[in-house]
Structure 1
Amino acid sequence: MAPHLSRRQLLGLSGGAAAALALSACGSSGSSGGGGGDGKSFSWFMWSGSNSEVDAWKHVAQTAGKATGTTISFQTAAFNDYWTKLTSQAASGSTPDLLALQAQRAPQFKDLFVDLSPKLSAMGVNESDFDTNMLNSLKIDGKLLALPYDFGPLVIFYNKTAFQKAGITLPTVGWTQDQFLDAAKKLTNGNTFGFYAQAVIDSVIPWAESQHGVQAVDSSGKLTLDSSEWADTLSWYQKLITEQKVAQQLPAANSTASNTNQFLAGNAAMYIDGPWSLINAKATAKFEVGIAPMPVGGSGSKTVTAGSGFGVAKSVKNQDLAAKAVAALVNPDNEAYLGQQGRAFPARTAQQDSWYSNNGLSDAKTVMDYSIQNSESYRTTASWTQVNNTFSKYAVPAFNGSGSIDDLVTQTMAQSKASS
């Protein structure tokens, strides 16, 4: 997922934070013998977005180190830089010992990770303690690459204040796509729009799920954007901008943060996001923020679940101890801590209440429970980065009406085949 920033982390963002992150990312890359070469010291590489977030991860590292009799040295980089650096480290054979892994990128980086499945008993880990969809999304070919620390279903964020001022019934479990469209029309006025459409595949997949019960990648691992179901969903999505005019024309430089920015600025009353953004939205918005499940379509109210976890690099000599260190990173105490800090919606089900109770989010529980129950693991391919980039490039003109849906699909499918 995208980097998760709590209210504390948001307030801590500054030039100094960026400098600190740059410096921390320049530490040693680790080695095959572990961070200290004694078999009990490990380097751990994870993305971060602020000084306070770094502090949270250092706390987790210290707690895990004490629990396993190891020393875990934390290294970090900004989210996008993390993947660039990890790719170069993999090419040179110098990855750190413990690695963070986003579920969507698991197929791409699967060869870097030790299979944790046969080690779970010795690690003191029960798979049943974790959300099933999230755990499965970190498995490739039956191999568990990482233990999840967070996850979340993609849901609808909405401007509760705007709904109330317009006299629109607030969305709840069971609301339909017709009700969504009706609300979006009533909330569109001048430069304010009812919905923010994005040129990223993440924002379209939940609609395809709810309308036709399909993801972009089928259960066999094949990209299926060229199906009739996807043609229908992409056309419907395009019409939100070109015909219904409830979403603004997409800018050429459509950044991944544009949906959040437009929503928080009050320029769009609804958009799709995950629970990692809810605390920030409530802390930052000058209006009351609510979340709703995906509107019911032809296949019901369905969505996808995504998140991240931590695994062991194959280059580590003492893989058994490293696996225990990973288990400690996501032990119940650390999961509860991350939930309390707003850094993660815990992947351990027993610790999820910490996210609700410590961050004033009790009103979100019904929606979260329903959306988790009606979600699937987010499926991707080994060339998902290329698929994402190509889709985003051609989606802007396609959704704006200056290009075609056919071209968007053709180009994305061709890129997928070329990268496979």
Structure 2
Amino acid sequence: MVHRRTLVPALAVLVVGSLAACGSADDGEAATPDSPVDLRMTVWTADESQLALFDEIAADYVEANPDTVASVTFEALPFEDYTTTLTTQLAGGNAPDLAWIFESSAPEFVESGALTDIRPTLEGTEGYAYDDLLESATGLWSDGEGLYAYPFSNSPFVMFVNTDRIAESGQDDPADLLAAGEWSYDAARDISAASAEELGGAGMVVRDFDYAGWGNLATVWGGWDAAPWSEDGTQCTFTDPEMVEAMTWFHDAAFAQGAMPGPGTSSDFFAGDVTMTITQISRAASLDGSFEWDVVPLPAGPAGQQNVIGQAGIGVLANADNPEIAADFLAYFTSPESAEKLAAYFPPPRESLLTTEVLGDANPLLSPEQLETAVISSIVDAQVKPAHRNFAQLDTAVRGALDEMWNPGADVEAVLGNVCSAIEPLLEN
């Protein structure tokens, strides 16, 4: 098994005892059960159509493997408390066999030893086509040569545009700017400010940010090649010139140029009074035909255009009762055939399935051209939103330190210095 780094304290405290008492799927110690087992996977979706699809795939697996598996149950946990509930189950010796994992928690789960290496099982499954998985999609879930979760959902962030508001305010169409190689954050800011001044409402909104969910600003600062911390997660980079420039741009766009609504203002693109919004492509389902719209990739910044995805993985818990069988089920659940079915809801990490035909079935509101330019191109070689092995504490600390930023007279560079002061001890740990 690949050597891991020091156990992450927050999760290791919960799982180390139970890990010591059992083998994992890749250490050769797991016993073969005498009778078919019941598998359990925790998820955070309560969508009946999604769960029905999961049940359909699982039923086919059980039918094909009656000697090893009696049932597969998908346990829906509340989204808001998902990770807390999952780690509580781990600590209580009630670990599920498989679990969805947020991208922000990926390093903690991967490095703590809570997950088993599924790469040998996936590679060894006939017809799995492991090489079809995008390297950019598996990176967050890898450690050395091992893969500790399958990146089952890869939803790109894009820019939705209200083309009625664009036309009514006499502004340049972002699609035309994209075709001319001029689609930039500066252009998006200027269009947004002008349309809001002309029509009222709001110009540009980073959805789910609301001056609190700072991780969503990765969709903006990527254009400056900025990041909150170093790649190894040990150094604060909020004070790097790239981040200072990106956050200064954002602050000015909101407070000086009127391109974005300020704190405390509720603006919903899908209600029709916002010119453009950065959000995940899955939000297209909220469009009701009340206005004309388009979708384009994220704009370019001074460092070029950077694609960003929100991601979730499925891992096999190392201290579950049957990790080897769970890994075999995961290979079936994420096979090329199953992944094509799941693409109806979850953009797959398989290069062969990133086609307008496959994704068109999942996104009937989008044209083939929109799928190609805004969706497929935004998944390949994309970066994932911020993640860290100590993310829960970092998230709270960054949010608190950034509060000083969200007023017109803020000293951006000084605030970012305070952010680093707040999080450096957490990064060192």
Same-fold call, TM > 0.5? yes
Give the aligned partner of residue 180 of structure 1. Answer: 188
- Structure (1 or 2) with the larger CA radius of gyration: 2
Letter matched to residue 104 of structure 2: Q
* Percent of residue pairs bearing the same amino acid type: 20
Distance 1:408 1:178, change over 3 A: closer
Structure 1 counterpart of 2:228, one-letter code? A
CA drift at 1:323: 0.7
Which runs of no fewer than 5 residues in structure 2 stay unpaired?
1-21, 23-29
Shift of 1:402: 6.1
**Is the 8 Å Cα contact of residues 171 and 195 (structure 2) preserved in structure 1?**
no
In the alignment, residue 384 of structure 1 is paired with which amino acid? F
Aligned pairs, how many? 377
Residues 110-149 of structure 1, C-alpha deviations (whole Å, 9 max, x = no match): 2321011233333343332222211112224543111122
Partner of 1:196: 205
Q: Which residue of 1 aligns with 2:350?
A: 348
The match for 2:283 among 277, 283, 293 is 277
**What is the CA–CA distance in structure 2 between the aligned matches of 1:370 and 1:146, rounded to whole Å?**
23
Q: Is the 8 A contact 2:154 2:379 kept in 1?
A: no
Change (3 A) 1:357 1:114: same
Q: What is the CA–CA distance in structure 1 between the aligned matches of 2:393 and 2:226, rounded to whole Å?
A: 21
Provide the rounded CA distance (Å) in 1 between the counterparts of 2:307 and 2:331.
28
Change (3 A) 1:330 1:416: farther
- Listed one character per residue, the Cα deviations across residues 340-378 of structure 1 (whole Å, up to 9, x for unaligned) are 3xx211222323432223532223322223323452344
Residue 327 of structure 1 aligns with an amino acid whose one-letter code is A
Residue of structure 2 in register with 1:166 after alignment: 169
Q: Report the TM-score when normalising by structure 2.
A: 0.79
Q: Residue 52 of structure 1 aligns to a residue in which SS?
A: helix
Q: CA deviation at 1:318?
A: 3.3
1:204 match: secondary structure: helix
The one of 41, 45, 55 aligned to 1:44: 41
Q: 2:398 touches 2:423 (CA, 8 Å); kept in 1?
A: no
Instruction: State the shift of 1:184 in Å.
Output: 0.9
Amino acid at match of 1:344: F
Give the distance between the partners of 1:403 and 1:165, measured in 2 at CA.
34
1:331 aligns with 2:335: yes
Matched, 1:400 2:407: yes
Amino acid at match of 1:275: I
How big is each residue's C-alpha offset from its partner over 1:61-83, in whole Å with a ceiling of 9 and x where there is no partner? 32343454422111112222221
**C-alpha separation between the residues in 2 aligned to 1:52 and 1:369?**
24
Q: CA deviation at 1:191?
A: 4.5
Q: Deviations over 1:228-249 (max 9, x none)?
A: 2211111111111110111111
**What residue number does 1:265 align with?**
271
Deviation at 1:37, TM superposition (A): 8.8
2:303 is aligned with 1:306: no
Aligned partner (choices 371, 378, 401) of residue 378 of structure 2: 371
DSSP-derived class of the 2:277 partner: strand
State the Cα RMSD in Å: 2.9
SS in 2 for 1:187: helix
Letter of the 1:281 partner, please give it: S
Contact 2:44 2:79 (8 Å CA) reproduced: yes
Identify unmatched segments of 5+ residues in structure 1.
1-31
Report deviation, 1:299: 1.0
Deviations along 1:165-219, one digit per CA (max 9) or x if unpaired, are 33333223331223212211222136511112432233322322212x2322332
Residues 158 and 269 of structure 1 are in contact (CA less than 8 Å); yes or no, is this contact kept in structure 2? yes
